[in-house]
């Protein structure tokens, strides 16, 4: 195979790690970190930020002056760290709220979240350094790293970045205006009920609702019709099959008693429908079992990849680089810095976090962080090279970490000590954040390899991105929990992965869970996987409310419609539809965050719209909401059919 030649030659002197690039990258890291927290809490998933950040970087620099391709690459490298860190934080730290015993809720505070995020993010970057040559360079022809390659295409097509940026911004402003009218003024129903059979009759408590939001529509378009269809099929089974089935056999007294046992007050029970009773009492556990089984099956499926990743990484660490002069495009953070930084993080975190394990058990926690961290950083880095960051089974890796950690805690005699649940979750959170950031780091390093960036500068930039984004991520997740949309774990902020992590820990250590429902979910997930369907996507759909997955499915249907009209199915990440959808996601999430702040200072601003809805009634209000959502869908399809000069 011929030697690869990057876009910028290794002997070229091109401005790269400049102050303006670092500052703009840090700003995007903060922005997309907050956006990812919002989206992950509500929908239980995230979208990659590298491509939109690259497009926006080109557009911003064109407005304020000139920039080089390597400066634009540094911007997207630093900015993307915020998105990956936020995903790991939101998938794990809310579990502190759901672990009711041992004072675990005390760990859901700014200091604990920020230190966990910083430690996991730094470990994810550092442990990826010795794997770069093995995964990015030596396997250039075998591991495509789809997001990293697409991002390199964006940067290389930088002269046309202004047109691409206009498409992103058009979706952004449409989402801002739509969300303001929807949530700020409440001019139409946010979650209309399309079907509600109620507790009487033959087909009891079946419910179909849809949250009318541009960010879900954009997410559905990005992930496509197949994945969105798989997700909504899980929700259809839960809300249109399992809930009516359970309603035939479980009396009201029984489910009310079970809800009381789970901590739901009588006021909550009286103000919610019976369908929501069954979802809270039983369906969430079925969904948790489905997600756990899907994650573990995905992990087992990648065992050959895991073995080869760890083997090659260890070989690379033992190898010695020869040659008199190291090329610019081969310069990494020194391996001594990597080892020292990783060990320092692992040793300091148990003390900073004040984990209730005592001395010398702090060191056991540190060993678990290093072992599981390195293992799953290697796994994550290779998997995203094959299937992309969006399909990275982070949940499965975190579940495996929690199971291993809890099993060790049981052997240590801590099974009956509920305070150890917080320590187990902290280990899982750091590993989850490290694995998520390692996947994003791999994509960024692949982009840098293609365009001819300096790995050392990218790795330093990633560390900067971690440190500048963790504070805003911590502030955002706590603000969301305390906002009118909260608390975390409610219908509007379900945080499915966080609930699952708490379920795993409590199940192993306290042995006090409705295992029957969890096993039913696991069996359903295994059945779906054996049918050749993505079990993880289906399981997340089975856990989430149908009001979340249905608009995502509509977005996927718009993608299918646009593909049919256009006459082709494979849509580029740089197409007008994908860029416009990215703008919808970013605009909707940012508007949602701003409205949370507005509600804090003016909680009565939605009174006019809510009064108007009350006068219209359920039927007209639902029709108005569907009309507004249909208008948004038409705008998306029209934009998707436009061609960009790429």
Residue 13 or residue 143, greater confidence: 13
Identify the residue with better confidence: 52 or 605.
52
Judge if 472 and 529 occupy the same domain.
no
Residues 467 and 588 in one domain: no
> What's the structural domain count of the chain?
2
Range of the domain at 260: 168-292+509-640
Burial of 202 (0-12, 13-18, 19+ CB in 10 A): exposed
Instruction: State the helix-helix crossing angle for 335-352 and 110-128, rounded to 10 degrees.
Output: 160
Alpha helix stretches (DSSP H) within 510-617: 515-530, 535-543, 546-566, 576-601, 607-616
Which of 462, 481, 500 terminates a domain? The answer is: 481
Co-location of 194 and 268 in the same domain: yes
Q: Given pLDDT bands bounded at 50, 70 and 90, which one contains residue 324? A: very low
pLDDT, tens digit, 9 for 90 and up, residues 492-551: 777 767 777 777 777 777 666 677 888 898 899 999 988 888 777 788 788 878 888 899
**CA pair distance 156, 234, nearest whole angstrom:** 40
Q: What band does 1 get if pLDDT is binned at 50, 70 and 90?
A: very low
User: Does a structural domain hold residue 212?
Assistant: yes
Q: Are residues 421 and 518 in the same domain?
A: no
Tens of pLDDT along 390-449?
Answer: 556 576 677 777 777 887 877 777 766 656 777 888 888 888 888 888 888 888 998 899
Farthest-apart Cα atoms in the chain, separation: 82
68: pLDDT strictly greater than 50: yes
Q: Is residue 52 part of a domain?
A: yes
Same domain, yes or no, for 424 and 516? Answer: no
Give me the mean pLDDT over the 594-607 stretch: 60
- CB-CB neighbours of 67 under 10 Å: 21
**3-class DSSP assignment, residue 589:** helix
Inside any domain, residue 621: yes
Are 262 and 133 in the same domain?
no
Alpha helices in 482-545 (DSSP H): 496-509, 515-530, 535-543
Q: What's the token pair of residue 490? A: 């409610």
pLDDT, residue 316, reads 56
Clarify whether residues 63 and 208 are in a common domain.
no
Would residue 405 count as lying in a domain? yes
pLDDT of 462 reads: 93
Poorest-pLDDT segment among 62-66, 118-122, 489-493: 489-493
Q: What percent of the chain has pLDDT over 70?
A: 79
Q: Is residue 67 part of a domain?
A: yes
Kindly state whether residues 227 and 96 are assigned to the same domain: no
Bigger pLDDT: 266 vs 76: 76
Q: What is the pLDDT of residue 38?
A: 78
Residue 163 has a pLDDT of: 66
How is residue 630 written in tokens? Answer: 């249909």
Rounded distance, CA 510 to CA 632, Å? 48
Residues 69 and 115 in one domain: yes
User: Is the separation of the CB atoms in 127 and 374 below 8 Å?
Assistant: yes
Give the tokens for residue 5: 């030649």
- Residue 469: which of 431, 494, 497, 436 has the closest Cα? 436
Based on the domain organization, do 144 and 212 belong to the same domain?
no
Q: Is residue 39 part of a domain?
A: yes
pTM > 0.85 = no
Q: What is the pLDDT of residue 271?
A: 80
Above 90 in pLDDT, residue 460? yes
What pLDDT, on a 0 to 100 scale, did the predictor assign at position 520? 92
Name every residue whose Cβ is closer than 8 Å to that of residue 280 and which is 6 or more positions away in sequence.
259, 262, 264
Give the burial class of 178: count Cβ atoms within 10 A of its Cβ; 0-12 exposed, 13-18 middle, 19 or more buried: buried
In a domain, 330, yes or no: no
Domain end position, chosen among 481, 501, 535: 481
184 vs 433, more confident: 433
Query: What's the full length of the chain, in residues?
Result: 646
CA-to-CA distance for 136 and 447, rounded, in angstroms?
10
Mean pLDDT of 479-489: 79
Same domain, 437 and 307: yes
Residues 531, 472: one domain?
A: no
Tell me, yes or no, whether 490 lies in a domain: no
3-state helix, strand, coil in the chain (%, to 5): 75, 0, 25
Radius of gyration of the chain (CA): 24
Q: How confident is the model at residue 322 (pLDDT cuts 50, 70, 90)?
A: very low
pLDDT in the model for residue 381: 78
């Amino acid at each position: 195979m011929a030697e690869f030649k990057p876009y910028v030659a290794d002997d070229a002197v091109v401005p790269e790690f400049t102050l303006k690039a670092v500052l703009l990258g840090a700003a995007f890291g903060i922005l997309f970190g907050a956006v990812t927290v919002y989206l992950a809490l509500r929908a239980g998933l995230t979208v990659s930020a590298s491509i939109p950040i690259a497009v926006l970087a080109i557009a911003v620099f064109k407005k304020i002056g000139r920039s080089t391709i390597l400066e634009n690459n540094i911007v997207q490298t630093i900015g993307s760290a915020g998105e990956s860190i936020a995903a790991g934080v939101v998938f794990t730290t809310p579990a502190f709220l759901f672990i009711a015993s041992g004072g675990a809720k005390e760990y859901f505070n700014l200091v604990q979240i920020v230190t966990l995020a910083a430690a996991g993010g730094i470990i994810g970057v550092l442990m990826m350094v010795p794997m770069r040559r093995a995964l990015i360079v030596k396997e250039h022809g075998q591991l495509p790293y789809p997001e990293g390659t697409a991002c390199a295409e964006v940067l290389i097509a930088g002269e046309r970045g202004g047109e691409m940026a206009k498409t992103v911004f058009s979706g952004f402003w449409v989402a801002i205006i739509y969300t303001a009218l929807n949530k700020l003024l409440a001019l139409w129903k946010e979650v209309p009920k399309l079907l509600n059979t109620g507790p009487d009759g033959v087909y009891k408590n079946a419910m179909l609702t849809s949250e009318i939001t541009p960010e879900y529509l954009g997410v559905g378009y990005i992930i496509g019709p197949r994945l969105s269809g798989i997700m909504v099929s899980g929700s259809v089974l839960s809300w249109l099959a399992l809930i009516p089935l359970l309603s035939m056999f479980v009396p009201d007294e029984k489910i009310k008693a079970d809800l009381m046992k789970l901590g739901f007050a009588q006021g909550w029970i009286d103000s919610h429908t019976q369908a929501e009773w069954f979802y809270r009492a039983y369906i969430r556990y079925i969904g948790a079992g489905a997600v756990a089984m899907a994650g573990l099956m995905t992990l087992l499926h990648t065992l050959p990849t895991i073995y080869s990743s760890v083997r090659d990484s260890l070989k690379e660490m033992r190898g010695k680089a020869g040659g008199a002069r190291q090329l610019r495009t081969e310069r990494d953070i020194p391996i001594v810095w990597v080892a020292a930084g990783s060990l320092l993080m692992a040793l300091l975190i148990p003390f900073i976090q004040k984990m209730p394990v005592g001395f010398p058990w702090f060191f056991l926690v540190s060993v678990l962080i290093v072992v599981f961290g390195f293992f799953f950083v290697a796994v994550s880095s290779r998997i995203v090279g094959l299937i992309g960051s969006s399909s990275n089974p982070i949940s499965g890796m975190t579940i495996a970490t929690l199971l291993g950690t809890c099993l060790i805690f049981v052997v240590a005699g801590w099974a009956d000590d509920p305070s150890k649940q917080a320590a187990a979750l902290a280990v899982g959170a750091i590993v989850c954040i490290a694995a998520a950031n390692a996947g994003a780091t791999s994509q960024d390093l692949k982009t840098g390899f293609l365009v001819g960036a300096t790995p050392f500068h990218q790795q330093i930039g990633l560390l900067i991105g971690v440190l500048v984004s963790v504070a805003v991520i911590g502030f955002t997740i706590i603000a969301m929990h305390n906002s009118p949309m909260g608390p975390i774990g409610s219908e509007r902020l379900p945080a499915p992965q966080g609930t699952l992590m708490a379920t795993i820990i409590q199940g192993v250590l306290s042995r006090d869970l409705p295992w029957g429902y969890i096993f039913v979910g696991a069996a359903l997930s295994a059945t779906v996987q054996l049918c050749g369907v993505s079990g993880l996507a289906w399981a997340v759909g089975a856990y989430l409310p149908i009001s979340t997955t249905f608009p995502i499915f509509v977005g996927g249907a718009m993608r299918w419609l646009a593909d049919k009209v256009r006459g082709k199915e494979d849509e580029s990440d740089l197409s007008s539809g994908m860029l416009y959808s990215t703008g919808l996601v970013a605009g909707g999430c940012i508007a949602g965050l701003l409205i949370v702040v507005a509600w804090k200072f003016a909680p009565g601003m939605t009174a006019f719209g809510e009064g108007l809805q009350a006068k219209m009634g359920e039927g007209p209000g639902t029709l108005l909401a569907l009309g507004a959502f249909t208008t948004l869908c038409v705008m998306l399809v029209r934009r998707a059919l436009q061609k960009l000069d790429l």
